[in-house]
């Protein structure tokens, strides 16, 4: 009689390959799927009764920034709580290798504003037992992991390493610098880096360095960028992740590298009433046309409700607006001083546009922000009202209304974007477009303001179960097999005999995103915004159970995935 490590018995299998669902047993042995079918009278060390439950591949999250968090949180939560079993780190040009020992502190500071994680927290949580990129991957390999991890080579650390930070921010590379950077990039790809990444958001980039300056790649020369693409062409490997690249440059990157580009981000850009303005259709048409021209461009699509919550003592995502950037730099005391200053106030009022996108990809204007929580009980009367309503009642400019409340509250007031309705018909077009990969998770970044890492749970519960934008077979292909393929992960993202057993068992009817909460669980006393999920009964990574009914088992079966190599 056959005996397995784990037998998932009688579940509804959705295999991630768009095969119509079927009822079967899934048996696991030695970390791999040993059988999908009828296990007959076989037994196992652990039998999971999956009748009435969905059995599917774990999710593959391509856009994350767990580059530091992985060292203190093996499950890369919140991703690990939402069924993600493989993540790609090193997105947007960011990362921590190569970095010389003398530059470690600056490297952590570089990510402080972006990730909304204190540099002191990173310092307390990271082992820093590497200098080169291959050494960084070796360190990741040694680190206990609750999920699998693949990494881009971020161009910011690479350019800093060779050119120096200030030079890299202010001029193109010289010939000898290019030669050296190509050598290091080649070495990183040899070691298992999956390509390179860059954020190209320009001088008013919303994701900035700790001193308020743009990141290196935000303003880097296109020639240098295309030079890196040429390195990929020579190696015939890897892919390129970009955010903010225009269409021409994106196609030039494809042309030069001959490699796939994962373009960020396809967004609905809806306002709080759910109105979109059709721009996403234009993007989809372009992506389709680029692919028809022979360029392999995938569109990472923001499929979550893009909601934020923040207080002005730490908030930094108005950074694309210079007047706001000025007043949200520095300590809370420095911020308050600037927010009280009449000149800063008048610049802020001048920057004010009642309809302007002030937060991320949504058109949440300042008057629509809602006061969710106050520190001073005397301000309680404002809770639940929008800035616009408060401004009208107090006969103040919305900027003054917002800042007066925040200042009276020593910046503790928490503002939230109003609940946003997704235009489901528009979202249907986005998620079903040929080259869309769901989820700009940004897990590990903007940790005090957003929880987009919840996207797989929201996708299945809100978009699929409640709104029927696609069937489960399509959804699991989009959430697992398709992104795995796009990033060059060869043997994951689907359930197939012989494949590594990254498997979820969940209850579709019970699947939901739980409310956001503030967790004080980061090293050196830092906190973050997080949300958990319910409905996932079992999460398995490489054949071991990592979560059972949302409770972590402590197992760390995750692997470092080296690009081009099978796990
Ligand atoms: Zn990013």
Tell me the per-residue pLDDT of 189-220, one tens digit each, with 9 for 90 and over: 999 999 999 999 999 999 999 999 999 999 99
Q: Give yes or no for a contact between 91 and 197, defined as CB atoms under 8 angstroms apart.
A: yes
Measured CA to CA, the distance from residue 129 to residue 140 in angstroms comes to 10
Find the 303 Cα to ligand 1 centroid distance in Å: 15
Find the 65 Cα to ligand 1 centroid distance in Å: 6
Q: Give mean pLDDT, residues 520-542.
A: 98
- For residue 361, pLDDT over 70 is answered with no
Residues 212-259 have pLDDT tens digits of 999 999 999 999 999 999 999 999 999 999 999 999 999 999 999 999
Find the 294 Cα to ligand 1 centroid distance in Å: 26
Find the 241 Cα to ligand 1 centroid distance in Å: 9
Find the 63 Cα to ligand 1 centroid distance in Å: 6
Share of the chain above pLDDT 90, in %: 91
Find the 53 Cα to ligand 1 centroid distance in Å: 33
Find the 417 Cα to ligand 1 centroid distance in Å: 21
Confidence of residue 425 (pLDDT cuts 50, 70, 90): very high
Find the 391 Cα to ligand 1 centroid distance in Å: 34
Largest alpha-carbon pair distance within the chain?
A: 81
- For residue 269, pLDDT over 80 is answered with no
Closest by CA to 489, choosing from 558, 382, 566, 547, is 566
Find the 444 Cα to ligand 1 centroid distance in Å: 9
Residues whose Cβ atom is located within 5 A of ion ligand 1: 91-92
Find the 167 Cα to ligand 1 centroid distance in Å: 23
**Length of the chain counted residue by residue:** 567
One DSSP character per residue, 395-406 reads T--HHHHHHHHH
pTM of the model: 0.97
Q: Give yes or no for a contact between 292 and 255, defined as CB atoms under 8 angstroms apart.
A: no
Find the 407 Cα to ligand 1 centroid distance in Å: 31
Measured CA to CA, the distance from residue 67 to residue 290 in angstroms comes to 31
Question: Would you give the distance in Å from CA 385 to the centre of its chain?
Answer: 30
Find the 244 Cα to ligand 1 centroid distance in Å: 11
Find the 267 Cα to ligand 1 centroid distance in Å: 14
Measured CA to CA, the distance from residue 153 to residue 464 in angstroms comes to 34
User: ∠ CA 70-75-79 to the nearest 5 degrees?
Assistant: 100
Residues 436-483 have pLDDT tens digits of 999 999 999 999 999 999 999 999 999 999 999 999 999 999 999 999
Measured CA to CA, the distance from residue 151 to residue 131 in angstroms comes to 16
Measured CA to CA, the distance from residue 37 to residue 364 in angstroms comes to 50
Residues 539-563 have pLDDT tens digits of 999 999 999 999 999 999 999 999 9
Helix (H, G, I), strand (E, B) or coil at 286: helix
Q: Give yes or no for a contact between 424 and 435, defined as CB atoms under 8 angstroms apart.
A: no
- For residue 358, pLDDT over 60 is answered with no
Structure confidence at residue 355 (pLDDT)? 67
pLDDT averaged over every residue in the chain? 95
Least confident of 280-284, 343-347, 364-368: 364-368
Sorted by sequence, the CB contacts under 8 Å of residue 444 that are 6+ apart come out as 64, 65, 66, 67, 68, 69, 76, 89, 115, 117, 453
Find the 132 Cα to ligand 1 centroid distance in Å: 22
Structure confidence at residue 359 (pLDDT)? 55
Find the 442 Cα to ligand 1 centroid distance in Å: 5
Q: Tell how strand 54-57 and strand 3-13 pair up.
A: parallel
Residues 95-124 have pLDDT tens digits of 999 999 999 999 999 999 999 999 999 999
Helix (H, G, I), strand (E, B) or coil at 51: coil
Find the 64 Cα to ligand 1 centroid distance in Å: 6
């Amino acid at each position: 009689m056959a005996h397995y490590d784990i037998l998932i018995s009688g579940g509804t299998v959705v295999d991630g390959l768009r095969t119509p669902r079927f009822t079967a047993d899934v048996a696991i042995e030695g970390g791999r799927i040993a059988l999908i079918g009828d296990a007959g009278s076989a037994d196992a060390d652990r039998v999971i009764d999956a009748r009435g439950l969905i059995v599917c591949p774990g999710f593959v999250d391509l856009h994350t920034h767990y580059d530091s968090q992985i060292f203190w949180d093996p499950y890369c939560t919140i991703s690990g709580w939402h069924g993600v079993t493989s993540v790609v780190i090193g997105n947007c040009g960011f990362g921590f290798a190569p970095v010389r020992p003398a530059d470690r502190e600056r490297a952590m500071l570089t990510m402080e504003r972006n990730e909304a994680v204190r540099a002191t927290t990173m310092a307390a949580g990271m082992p820093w037992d590497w200098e080169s990129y291959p050494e960084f991957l070796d360190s990741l390999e040694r680190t206990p992991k609750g999920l699998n991890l693949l990494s881009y080579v971020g161009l910011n650390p690479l350019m800093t390493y060779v050119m120096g930070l200030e030079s890299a921010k202010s001029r193109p590379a010289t010939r000898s610098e290019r030669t050296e950077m190509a050598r290091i990039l080649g070495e990183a790809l040899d070691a298992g880096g999956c390509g390179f990444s860059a954020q190209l958001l320009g001088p008013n980039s919303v994701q900035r360095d700790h001193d308020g300056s743009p990141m290196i790649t935000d303003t880097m020369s296109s020639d240098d960028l295309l030079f890196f693409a040429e390195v990929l062409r020579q190696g015939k490997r890897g892919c390129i992740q970009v955010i903010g690249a225009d269409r021409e440059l994106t196609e030039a990157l494809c042309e030069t590298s001959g490699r796939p580009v994962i373009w960020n981000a396809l967004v609905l850009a809806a306002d709080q009433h759910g109105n979109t303005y059709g721009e996403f259709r234009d993007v989809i048409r372009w992506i389709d046309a680029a692919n028809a021209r022979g360029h392999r461009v995938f569109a990472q699509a923001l499929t979550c409700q893009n909601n934020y919550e923040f207080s002005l003592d730490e908030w930094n995502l108005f950074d694309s607006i210079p007047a706001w950037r000025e007043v949200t730099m520095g300590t809370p005391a420095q911020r308050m001083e600037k927010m009280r200053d009449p000149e800063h106030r008048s610049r802020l009022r001048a920057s004010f546009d009642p309809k302007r996108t002030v937060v991320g990809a949504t058109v949440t204007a300042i008057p629509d922000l809602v006061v969710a929580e106050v520190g001073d009980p005397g301000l309680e009367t404002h809770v639940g009202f929008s800035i616009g309503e408060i401004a009208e009642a107090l006969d103040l400019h919305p900027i003054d209304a917002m800042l007066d409340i925040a200042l009276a509250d020593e910046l503790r007031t928490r503002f939230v974007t109003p609940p946003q309705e997704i235009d489901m018909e528009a979202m249907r077009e986005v998620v079903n477009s040929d080259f869309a990969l769901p989820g700009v998770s940004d897990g590990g970044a903007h940790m005090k303001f957003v929880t987009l890492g919840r996207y797989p749970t929201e996708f299945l519960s809100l978009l699929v179960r409640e709104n029927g934008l696609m069937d489960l077979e399509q959804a699991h292909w989009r959430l697992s097999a398709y992104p795995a393929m796009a990033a060059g992960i060869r043997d994951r993202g689907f359930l197939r005999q012989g494949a590594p057993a990254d498997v979820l068992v969940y209850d579709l009817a019970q699947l939901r995103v739980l409310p956001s909460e503030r967790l004080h669980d980061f090293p050196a006393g830092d906190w973050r915004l997080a949300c958990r999920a319910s409905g996932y009964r079992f999460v398995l990574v490489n054949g071991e159970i990592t979560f059972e009914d949302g409770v972590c088992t402590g197992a760390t079966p995750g692997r470092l995935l080296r690009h081009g190599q099978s796990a």
